């Protein structure tokens, strides 16, 4: 794995699940999110990026929509780069 495609292990209870995310997976997830559709994209992200041999074990856990959102959120948070972002204050003086 590399920095763009990290292997991320989430421990859920006593089980471990290994996910391999790519920038394309994350983009597909964000593009699928709508105001009325948040759980299905999360479910798809989890099921398509978990190791194939772990899918059958993960699937029953995803029956709870809150679990889906919690796992997807944790996965994305771990995938996100650690970048410090600072918003600078706007100048209060007018320029012509």
C-alpha–C-alpha distance, residues 37 and 16, integer Å: 27
Query: Is 3's pLDDT higher than 90?
Result: no
Of 35, 37, 36, 45, give the one whose Cα is nearest residue 70: 45
Residue 91: per-residue pLDDT: 75
Q: Which residue do the tokens 């959102």 mark?
A: 69
What pTM was computed for the model?
0.83
Cβ within 8 Å of residue 14, ≥6 positions away: none
Q: Residue 35's pLDDT is what?
A: 93
């Amino acid at each position: 794995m590399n920095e763009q495609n990290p292997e991320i292990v989430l421990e859920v209870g006593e089980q471990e699940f290994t996910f391999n995310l790519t920038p394309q997976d994350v983009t597909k997830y964000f593009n699928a999110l709508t105001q009325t559709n948040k759980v299905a994209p999360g479910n798809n992200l989890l099921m398509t990026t978990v190791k194939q041999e772990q899918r059958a074990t993960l699937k029953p856990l995803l029956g709870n929509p809150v679990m889906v959102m919690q796992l997807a959120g944790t996965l994305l948070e771990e995938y996100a780069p650690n970048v410090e972002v600072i918003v600078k204050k706007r100048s209060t003086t007018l320029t012509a």
